[in-house]
Copies of this chain bind each other. A is one copy, B any other.
Amino acid sequence: MIDFFIPACYTDIKLFPVLIGMVRTLDHELYKIGSGDRMKRPVINIGLMGVGTVGTGVARVLLTEGDLLTSRTGIRFNLKTVVDLDWGRERELKFGEVKTSTNVEDIVNDPEIDIVVETIGGYEPAFTYISQALAARKHVITANKALVATKGRELFSRAKANGVNILFEASVGGGIPVIKGLREGLVANKILGLYGIVNGTSNYILTRMHQENLEFAEALREAQIKGFAEADPSLDISGVDAAHKLAILAALASGGLVDFHSIPVEGISAVTSFDINYAKSFGYVIKLLAVCRFAQNQVDLRVHPTLVPENHLLAAVNNELNAVFITGDLVGNTMFYGPGAGQNPTASAVVSDIIDLARDLLLKNGEFFSSLTINPEKILSLLPLGEISNRYYLRLYTRDQPGIFAQIAGVLGENNISISSVVQLEAHGEKEFVPIVLLTHEARENYFNNALKEIGKFDFIRPDILRLRLF
């Protein structure tokens, strides 16, 4: 009878009413403590969807590090069911008493499962499965940045409507606890802006170009051989993957959501070793940066290769490593650095989310408690790129004729753009085109675009003009 009695304290702080009848009491198991007494310890049952690289990492930690996790939290984490389409192939990890299945209903319809971990990746069927889990009032953890970035509104609305939580620490910066840092560690701060190196593939390629003077294609091939780039690297080198992570970081920093498809994105494939070297000679390192800056009621979001001053900490983030540099009104500048991908780092982040959700499950009334919660109804307004002022790096190749630089400088001047440094090299041998590189003072993007359009019309200029922005 006591089980059906709802004490007063359970009912008075519910923000999102939950049908009490549907809330399952957590399992507990008896265990011995030192003196021989028997006590009860909560057990959290976990269902894992997708046992590829990341899913295997998560399963391995739960199956082999259970004692460590219990000693640190007082909770036993029980991997109850794993679902994957392919159980035919040989797997290194043995699942023992864990139920293995090809049917996601074995997780979604199991009333004993408290937490669902989605490590399938991609849009479908991951989105459908997560939605089913949320509808079944299960907390969800996902490492799926594409899904969180593009379907955040649906996912957060459904979680809220069902009184459960969805966590996604592994979706940005792999094993780096940057999402926890942002939503809990910096919870007292208004976030003023952040800059992320959040795509390991691009950072590896740019680092190798910088350090070894490789061309883009060579560095990409090396990244593929070393496993830092996919066979089809387009999501990474186009900047889209970084934009996914930027959308997530901006949501956490603001408590609202952005329309992913309106984020301006430029990738790194037009950057040559010539540009890397000239940037270096000016005292800069080229990095693919995800930029988020809050202004009044708008947010400036973009992803593009950026000239970072060589003495800035972000310039020292090399190879496949990631970092997010965050400025808060109280804390000032902070940075979180580490591996942005990989089986074990990702598992580290997912398990940290599992433990956080376990804490939520132990809350008095089962309601979720998250600092810096995202409100799916709040949509951020993007500051149009054209209205933003930047300093620019401009590299172009012209025929070696007299008076050309004057014409280019003239166009820039007419558009209110003033030049801060310029290098024009002499033609050697029989080269048809010679490079001009210049850095500008701050100018509005619109004006600079106008100037670029006019410069592009000159018949003495090669079409492969490169414009980069400065930090």
Residues of A within 8 A of B (CB): 2-3, 5, 7-9, 12-15, 25, 28, 39-42, 61, 65, 68-69, 71-74, 169, 175-177, 180-181, 184-190, 255, 311, 313, 315-318, 321, 328-339, 342, 344-345, 347-349, 351-352, 355-356, 359, 362-364, 369, 371-373
Contact present for A74 and B348 (CB under 8 Å): no
Contact present for B25 and A13 (CB under 8 Å): no
Whether A39 contacts B15 in the complex (CB less than 8 A), given A72-B372, A185-B352, comes out as yes
Contact present for B176 and A334 (CB under 8 Å): yes
Contact present for B335 and A65 (CB under 8 Å): no
A71–B378 alpha-carbon span in the complex (Å): 13
Contact present for B3 and A5 (CB under 8 Å): no
A268–B434 alpha-carbon span in the complex (Å): 52
Q: Given the complex, which residues of B lie within 8 Å of A313, measured CB to CB?
A: 313, 316-317, 337
A144–B189 alpha-carbon span in the complex (Å): 22
Least distance between A141 CB and chain B CB atoms (Å): 13
Residue of B nearest to A334 (CB): B338
Q: Given the complex, which residues of B lie within 8 Å of A68, measured CB to CB?
A: 188, 190
Q: Give the 10 A-B residue pairs with the shortest CB-CB distance, closest first.
A: A177-B185, A334-B338, A175-B331, A188-B351, A330-B348, A335-B337, A316-B316, A330-B344, A12-B40, A331-B348
A181–B73 alpha-carbon span in the complex (Å): 15
Contact present for B175 and A355 (CB under 8 Å): no
Contact present for B334 and A335 (CB under 8 Å): no
Residue of B nearest to A351 (CB): B188
A459–B123 alpha-carbon span in the complex (Å): 76
| Contacts beyond the supplied A180-B181, A188-B352, A335-B335: 19 A-B pairs with Cβ under 8 Å | A5-B5, A5-B7, A7-B7, A13-B28, A65-B188, A177-B180, A185-B349, A186-B348, A313-B317, A328-B348, A330-B345, A331-B348, A332-B342, A333-B338, A334-B339, A336-B336, A337-B337, A362-B369, A363-B364
Q: Given the complex, which residues of B lie within 8 Å of A9, measured CB to CB?
A: 25
Contact present for A348 and B189 (CB under 8 Å): yes
Q: Given the complex, which residues of B lie within 8 Å of A69, measured CB to CB?
A: 187-188
Contact present for B175 and A334 (CB under 8 Å): yes
Residue of B nearest to A337 (CB): B335
Contact present for B369 and A73 (CB under 8 Å): yes
Q: Given the complex, which residues of B lie within 8 Å of A71, measured CB to CB?
A: 255
Contact present for B359 and A369 (CB under 8 Å): yes
Contact present for B177 and A186 (CB under 8 Å): yes
The contact sample of 11 A-B pairs, CB cut-off 8 A, is A13-B28, A169-B185, A175-B331, A180-B180, A184-B352, A188-B348, A311-B316, A315-B316, A321-B333, A333-B339, A334-B337
Contact present for B344 and A339 (CB under 8 Å): no
Q: Given the complex, which residues of B lie within 8 Å of A25, measured CB to CB?
A: 9
Q: Given the complex, which residues of B lie within 8 Å of A363, measured CB to CB?
A: 359, 362-364
Least distance between A177 CB and chain B CB atoms (Å): 2
Q: Given the complex, which residues of B lie within 8 Å of A2, measured CB to CB?
A: 7-8
Whether A355 contacts B72 in the complex (CB less than 8 A), given A13-B40, A13-B41, A338-B334, comes out as no
